[in-house]
Amino acid sequence: MKIQHIQSPNFSSRDGIEVDVIVIHCASLPEGRYGTGYITDLFLNRLHAGAHSSFESLKRLRVSAHYLIERDGAVIQYVDTDDKAWHAGVSSFEERDNCNRFSIGIELEGDIHSEFTEKQYTALIELCRALLAKYPKISADRIVRHSDIAPRRKQDPGPFFQLGRIQKGVVK
- Span 62-110, pLDDT tens digits: 999 999 999 999 999 999 999 999 999 999 999 999 999 999 999 999 9
CA distance 36 to 65: 17
DSSP, res 69: E
State the catalytic residue, choosing from 18, 56, 107, 115: 107
Distances (CA, A) of 141 to 20, 46, 102, 146: 10, 35, 15, 14
Model confidence pTM above 0.85: yes
| Band of residue 153 on the pLDDT scale cut at 50, 70, 90 | very high
| Band of residue 7 on the pLDDT scale cut at 50, 70, 90 | very high
Burial 131-148, CB ≥16 within 10 A → b, else e: bbeebeebebebbbbbbb
23 beta partners: 105, 144
pLDDT tens digits, 46-63: 999 999 999 999 989 999
How does the average pLDDT of the chain come out, rounded? Answer: 97
pLDDT of 168 above 90: yes
- 31 is a catalytic site residue: no
Mean pLDDT of the region 26-41:
98
Name the superfamily (CATH) of residues 3-169. Peptidoglycan recognition protein-like (3.40.80.10)
Domain positions in the chain are: 3-169
pLDDT of 172 above 90: no
By DSSP bridging, strand 143-145 and strand 21-27 are parallel
